[in-house]
Amino acid sequence: MKSIKGPGIFLAQFADDSAPFNNIDNICEWASALGYKGIQIPTWDKRLIDLEKLADSKTYAEEYQGKIAEHGLEITELSTHLQGQLVAVHPAYNDMFDGFAPEHLRGNPGARTEWAVNQLKMAAQASRHLGIDVHASFPGALMWHTVYPWPQRPAGLIEQGFAELARRWLPILDVFDSHGVDVCYEIHAGEDLHDGVSYERFLAATGDHSRARILFDPSHFVLQQMDYLQFIDIYHDKIGMFHVKDAEFNPSGRSGIYGGYQDWIDRPGRFRSLGDGQIDFAGIFSRLSQYGFDGWAVLEWECCIKHPEQGAVEGAPFIRDHMITVTDKAFDDFAGQTADAELNRKILGLKP
All domains of the chain in start order, with CATH: 5-347 (3.20.20.150)
- Which residue ranges of the chain lie beneath pLDDT 50? none
Q: What pLDDT score does 215 carry?
A: 98
Q: What pLDDT score does 55 carry?
A: 98
Q: What pLDDT score does 77 carry?
A: 98
Q: What pLDDT score does 329 carry?
A: 82
Angle, nearest 10°, between helix axes 196-205 and 157-178?
A: 70
DSSP state of 47: T
- C-alpha distance from residue 218 to each of 68, 150, 193 (Å): 29, 29, 14
Read off φ and ψ for residue 88, nearest 5 degrees. -145, 105
Tell me: cis bond preceding 20? Omega within 30 of 0 counts.
yes
Q: What pLDDT score does 331 carry?
A: 77
Query: What does 143-192 look like in DSSP terms, one character per residue?
Result: SGGGSS-SSPPPTTHHHHHHHHHHHHHHHHHHHHHHTT-EEEEE--TTSS
Q: What pLDDT score does 322 carry?
A: 98
pLDDT tens per residue across span 199-222: 999 999 999 999 999 999 999 999
Q: How far is CA 289 from the centre of its chain?
A: 17
Whole-number Å distance between alpha carbons of 74 and 303: 25
pTM, two decimal places: 0.95
